[in-house]
């Protein structure tokens, strides 16, 4: 993250204004200055963590980042889309790259996902985002969600594990949705947070849900005496 170059009268760090007219122009609204997107997203996270969802307006992000509001709106049509991209940047592909070891990979995936959703900015954003979705905000097409979604990473892990460990009849999206609910609850619901169950417990449940039927029978078959 960059170091602030100045401080506002209220003591809030700000970054110098970026003059987009001096940056090379790219086609179809792509960023015209390589620094702008990072500055805006970093500022969005900072405002969320410090002031909350309600205060995270495009104007507030513009003040914090030093990027004009018009430039922000060219990249993100609404504050909801801006907050989504800041909070859900996608998981680090290196840290969760599939190895074929299903248990290990699912464990790493859950840990990375929990880190993302447990950040101060994510905790501040999630209740407001969920409320906005209930009110009909941000009806994104599927391909747009995939850009900030962890779902493709989860599918890649299952593909790498192969049919020996993952039942081909199991809908991976159903399992991901269940996993997402568990991770969100662990990050946001106080009664769940207080249970302090380890992530390994979720890993066990996911592995059981994915296990091929014949393997499931072998695991649970009682020995004959």
pLDDT per residue over 31-82, tens digit each? 456 588 999 999 999 999 999 999 999 999 999 999 999 999 999 999 998 9
Low-confidence ranges of the chain (pLDDT < 50): 1-29, 31, 219-225
At 213 the pLDDT is: 74
All residues at 6 or more sequence positions from 17 whose CB lies less than 8 Å from its CB, including other chains: 66, 67, 68
At 131 the pLDDT is: 87
All residues at 6 or more sequence positions from 121 whose CB lies less than 8 Å from its CB, including other chains: 44, 45, 46, 48, 49, 86, 87
Instruction: Report whether 166 contacts 210 (CB < 8 A).
Output: yes
Q: Measured between alpha carbons, how far apart are the two ends of the chain, in Å?
A: 64
CA-nearest of 197, 206, 201 to 102 is 206
In DSSP terms, 7 is beta-bridged to 13
Three-state secondary structure call for residue 5 = coil
At 4 the pLDDT is: 38
At 10 the pLDDT is: 40
pTM above 0.75, yes or no: no
């Amino acid at each position: 993250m960059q170091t602030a170059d100045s401080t506002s009268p209220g003591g809030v760090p700000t970054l110098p204004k970026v003059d987009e007219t001096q940056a090379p122009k790219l086609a179809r609204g792509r960023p015209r200055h390589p620094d702008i997107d990072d500055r805006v997203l970093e500022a969005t996270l900072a405002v969320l963590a410090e002031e909350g969802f309600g205060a995270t307006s495009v104007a507030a992000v513009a003040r914090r980042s030093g990027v004009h509001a018009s430039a922000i709106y060219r990249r993100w049509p609404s504050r909801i889309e801006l907050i989504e991209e800041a909070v859900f940047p996608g998981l680090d592909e290196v840290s969760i790259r599939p190895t074929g070891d299903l248990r290990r990979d699912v464990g790493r995936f859950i840990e990375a996902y929990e880190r993302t959703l447990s950040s101060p900015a994510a905790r501040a954003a999630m209740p407001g985002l969920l409320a906005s979705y209930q009110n009909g905000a941000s009806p994104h097409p599927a391909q747009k969600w995939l850009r900030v979604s962890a779902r493709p990473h989860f599918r890649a892990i299952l593909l790498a594990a192969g049919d020996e460990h993952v039942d081909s009849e199991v809908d991976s999206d159903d399992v991901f949705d269940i996993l997402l609910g568990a991770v969100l609850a662990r990050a946001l619901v106080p009664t769940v947070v207080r249970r302090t169950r380890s992530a390994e417990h979720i890993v066990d449940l996911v592995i059981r849900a994915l296990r091929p039927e014949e393997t499931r029978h072998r695991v649970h078959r009682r020995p004959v005496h």
